[in-house]
Amino acid sequence: MSYEKVLKAHKIVIGTKQAVKALKEGTVQEILVANDAEPKLTAKVVEEALLMKIPIQYVDSMKNLGKASGIEVGAATVAIIR
């Protein structure tokens, strides 16, 4: 599943604000969005990714996405950096 991509990625950016910033910088390879995150929280990341034609993968849980990212709390979005 997509959590493995996060575990294997050399560099990631965790969180909505950081993901949007990385998208604007043009360094993002792929975006992962947790399905259980508030849609208004993730809307800007999804919008920006669609605009820039960056692939978006949806995962089931913020908790599991955070765990795969190496943090103790849930993560709404994670950007995999080139």
* Domain harbouring 26, CATH code: 3.30.1330.30
In the sheet where 77-81 sits, what is the strand order? 12-14, 77-81, 28-34, 56-59
Domain span at residue 54 reads 2-81
* Amino acid, res. 12: I
- Count of structural domains within the chain: 1
What is the distance between the alpha carbons of residues 63 and 60, in angstroms, rounded to a whole number? 9
Q: What percent of the chain has pLDDT over 70?
A: 99
Question: Using one digit for the tens of pLDDT, what is the confidence trace for 8-47?
Answer: 999 999 999 999 999 999 999 999 999 999 999 999 999 9
* Predicted pLDDT at 38: 97
Burial of 54: CB neighbours in 10 Å, binned 0-12, 13-18, 19+: buried
Q: What is the dihedral of CA 53, 6, 15, 50, to 10 degrees?
A: 10
